[in-house]
Chain A
Amino acid sequence: DAKTTQPPSMDCAEGRAANLPCNHSTISGNEYVYWYRQIHSQGPQYIIHGLKNNETNEMASLIITEDRKSSTLILPHATLRDTAVYYCAIIQGAQKLVFGQGTRLTINP
């Protein structure tokens, strides 16, 4: 299985950009990178996904390196409500999402 590696925890000041890294060095050419976040053991909330190009939506931006071995999720103006566990995942075979251990992001006032 393609594996994702994330730092266990990060802190960010409210109003600043939060940059969450993820390594996925064994990713295959047709596998998408997904980001989810999870608050208080609720169901994971979809944030964004990408294949090769950088992506942006109303929640975040996703930067994928040219060799696709790593990516960074950017929350441009973090708020206290962005405190959560953020998961980077790879989807394999159109079926299963393979999640890493996640990064616990704490936004400080």
Chain B
Amino acid sequence: ETGVTQSPTHLIKTRGQQVTLRCSSQSGHNTVSWYQQALGQGPQFIFQYYREEENGRGNFPPRFSGLQFPNYSSELNVNALELDDSALYLCASSTTGAPYEQYFGPGTRLTVT
């Protein structure tokens, strides 16, 4: 069984640039959720994708967007990067149906300068 993978591991961008982060879900999982974790904080829900559609969104602006592909992998895109976007970005995959266990990938560390 393959776990959740994310790429790249680390990324440095300049304020105003755009970034794309990638996630491959665990085998057998059809739902992907993205979280942002600032230093010293718990993860914050960004959005979830199921059947290639957004299936719930947290309190993040529209410049945070995503995609899910037919193989259930997913991308997180962030436009017009701000310094506060510096964080660990986590992807979690799950199946539908209770209890909705989510399994996390190793994360992508984004630094905006």
Chain A residues within CB distance 8 Å of chain B? 32, 34, 36, 41-46, 49, 51, 87, 89, 91, 93-102
Contacts and interface: CB of A to CB of B under 8 A. Distances in A.
23 contacts: A32-B98, A32-B99, A34-B102, A43-B107, A46-B102, A49-B101, A91-B100, A91-B102, A94-B100, A95-B33, A95-B56, A95-B100, A96-B56, A97-B33, A97-B35, A97-B43, A97-B45, A97-B102, A98-B45, A99-B42, A99-B44, A100-B42, A101-B42
Contact of A45 (B41, B43, B104): B104
> Top 4 A-B pairs ranked by shortest CB distance?
A99-B42, A96-B45, A95-B56, A43-B104
B88 A41 contact: yes
B47 to A, nearest CB: 9
B37 to A, nearest CB: 8
A93 B56 contact: yes
Contact of A44 (B6, B41, B43, B56): B43
Contacts of B25: none
A76 B47 CA distance: 35
Interface string B86-113: 0010101000101111111111010000
Size range of the chain B interface in the assembly: 20 to 34
B55 interface: yes
A87 B104 contact: no
Contacts of B16: none
Nearest to B46: A96
Contacts of A44: 43, 90, 104
A18 B44 CA distance: 26
A45 B102 CA distance: 10
B48 interface: yes
